[in-house]
A and B are shown apart, each in its own frame.
Chain A
Amino acid sequence: MKRRLAVIAWLLAAAVAGALAWAAFAPIRSASHDALFEIPKGTWARRMAGEKAEILPDTITLVLGVNDVLLLRNSDTVPQIFGPVLIMPGQDFRLPFEQAGEHPFACTAHASGQMTVVVKPTPPAGLQRLQWRLQSLLSRAPWRD
C-alpha cells in the first residue's frame, strides 16, 4: 500500500514537473493577436449627460508575439479621436506593434483624455514565461491593467 502511494506521489510530481516545464519552455501560441477595445454605442451621449463613462483603461499592456495588435472598435454614433486617429462610427482601427516600449496617446474616448499602451517583449523561455503563463491564467483579459 505504502509503495503504491509512493508511486502515485512520484507520478503526480512528475506530471506537475512536466506541466511546469511545458509552461516555462513551450512556445507561446495565440489564436488571435488582437486586444479588442470597444467604444460602445451611447458613450458620447452618456458623457454629454455628465455621466462618467470610463470605457478604456489608463494603461493597456500588450505582449509582442502574443497580443500585439491594438484593435479599437467605435460602436458609438459619433466619430472618436484616438491619438492621431479619427475613427468613424462603425469603423475598426487595428494598430500592430513590433517593438517593445511605452506609447502615450491622447484619446477622447477616455475621460482623462490620455491613455498609455505598454508593449512588453515576448516572455523568454524559462521562469519569465512560466510567470507570464500563470498570470495569464488568472486574468481573463491580461492586457487590461
Chain B
Amino acid sequence: MIRRYLLALLLSAASLAHAADKLKSGTFDPPRMAPQIAQKAADGKDFSLDKFRGKVVVLEFGYTSCADVCPVSLALLKQAREKLGAMGDRMQVVFVTVDPQRDTAPKLKAYLEQFDKSFVGLTGSDEQMAAIRKAYGISATKKMVDGSKTEYTMGHSSYLYFIDPQGRLRALMPFGRPADDIVHDVTLLAKGQ
C-alpha cells in the first residue's frame, strides 16, 4: 500500500516537473525550419537569419508609428533581455516592419535604439517585406485614419515568433505576456529544449 502511494507521489512530482519545463508560448509539432530572411538591416549591415544559429531569435512584426502594441512588446523584450543577465546575449530580437513606406532604415534604427541597441530592424521594398510576411503567414492591413487622406495605421500580428538555436520556428507568444514568460521560453529554447 505504501509503495503504491510513493509511486503515485513520484508520478505526480514527475508530471509537475514536466509541466514546469513546457514552453508558455504556442508551439509547433513538428517544428519546421524558419523561412530564411536575407537582406540589408536598418543599420546598413548585411542580415541573414541563419547567421544567428546558436541563439534564440525573437521576431516581431510591427511598425514605428504603432501606438499601442509594438512599443509595449519591445519594452517587454528589453526587460526580458535584462532579466536574462549573462544569457541575454543568447537572445536576438529582430523587428520586421510591416510599414516599409514610412519606416526608412534610419528611422527604424533610431526607433529601436530607444529600446535596446542590440535589436535589429529590417525594412526594404514593399515586395521584399511582403515576401517575408507571406513566408511567415502574416497579414498586414492598412487602415486610413478617419478624416485624414494621408494618415493611416497598420493592422498586424501582435505575436512574438521564437526561432530556436537550430533555426527552427518553434513557438509563438501572444501579445501582452509578462517579460518573465519570455525569459522562461528563451531560457528553455537556449538550453536546447
Do these two chains interact? yes
Binding site for B on A (CB under 8 A): 79, 81, 83-88, 90-96, 98, 103, 106
How far does the Cβ of A65 sit from chain B's closest Cβ, in whole Å?
12
Which residues B28-55 have CB closer than 8 A to chain A? 28-30, 32
Flag if A81 contacts B28 (CB, 8 Å).
Answer: no
Flag if B137 contacts A79 (CB, 8 Å).
Answer: yes
How many A-B pairs have beta carbons closer than 8 Å: the answer is: 42
Flag if B137 contacts A81 (CB, 8 Å).
Answer: yes
Flag if B28 contacts A91 (CB, 8 Å).
Answer: yes
CA distance A95 to B24 in the complex (A): 8
- Assess whether B27 is interfacial by the CB under 8 Å rule: yes
Q: Among the listed B22, B28, B139, B157, which residue makes an inter-chain contact with A93, where contact means beta carbons less than 8 Å apart?
A: B28
Binding site for A on B (CB under 8 A): 22, 24, 26-30, 32, 136-139, 157-159, 172, 174
Flag if A96 contacts B24 (CB, 8 Å).
Answer: yes
The prevalent SS among residues of A at the interface is strand
Q: Among the listed A88, A95, A98, A106, which residue makes an inter-chain contact with B32, where contact means beta carbons less than 8 Å apart?
A: A88
B172: chain A residues at CB < 8 Å are: 84-85, 95
A88: chain B residues at CB < 8 Å are: 32
A90: chain B residues at CB < 8 Å are: 30
- In the complex, besides A84-B159, A95-B172, 17 extra interface pairs with C-beta distance below 8 angstroms are A81-B139, A83-B159, A84-B137, A84-B138, A84-B172, A85-B26, A85-B137, A85-B159, A85-B172, A86-B137, A88-B32, A90-B30, A92-B28, A95-B26, A96-B24, A96-B26, A106-B139
